[in-house]
Amino acid sequence: MSDPSQISRLDKLRVTREYLAYQLQRTDATIRELEAEEKQERHRAEQARADQGWKIQPQRGEAPPVLHRGGCATYQSRDGHLLDRGQARLALTHETYIVMCEICTPQTDLMDG
C-alpha cells in the first residue's frame, strides 16, 4: 500500500515538466532580448561607420553630383559604398563640379583635419 503523504512518480514528472517548460520560456525570452540587443548594436555600428564616411549622389539630368555625409538620409546609395576622407577630397578636385548637400553639410567634417 502506498503512503498518501508521498508524491507519486507521475506527479513528480509533471512538476518537473512544468518547471522545465517555465525554464524554456524564460530562455526563449532571454534569447529574443539578446537578439534584439545585437540587432540594435549592429545598427549603431553601421550608423557610426556611415557617419564617418561620405557618398556621392550621381548627376541627374542637369543637376550636378552631390556630396553627402554617409549617414545622410537625403540620398540612400544603392551599393552602400562609402568614401573615406581622402577619397572624398579627391572627388572634390575632379573636373566635374560637385555640390555639397545643404542638409548634412559634408564639407564641415571633410575640411577639418
What's the half-sphere exposure (Cβ side, CA atoms, 13 Å) at 49? Answer: 10
Q: Are residues 66 and 104 in the same domain?
A: yes
Asked whether 35 and 53 are in contact (CB, 8 A), the reply is: no
Task: Match 534584439 to its residue by C-alpha cell.
Answer: 36
Asked whether 107 and 100 are in contact (CB, 8 A), the reply is: yes
pLDDT at residue 2, rounded to an integer: 61
Q: Are residues 58 and 94 in the same domain?
A: yes
Do the domain assignments include residue 79?
Answer: yes
Q: Are residues 20 and 59 in the same domain?
A: no
Distance CA(68)–CA(53), nearest Å, equals 9
Give the residue numbers spanning the domain of 80.
52-111
pLDDT per residue as tens, the chain (113 positions)? 466 678 899 999 999 999 999 999 999 999 999 999 999 999 999 888 878 888 889 888 888 899 998 888 888 877 778 888 888 888 888 767 888 999 888 887 777 65
pLDDT at residue 62, rounded to an integer: 87
pLDDT at residue 38, rounded to an integer: 98
Q: CB under 8 Å to 112, separation ≥6 — which residues?
A: none
Number of domains in the chain: 2
Q: Are residues 66 and 98 in the same domain?
A: yes
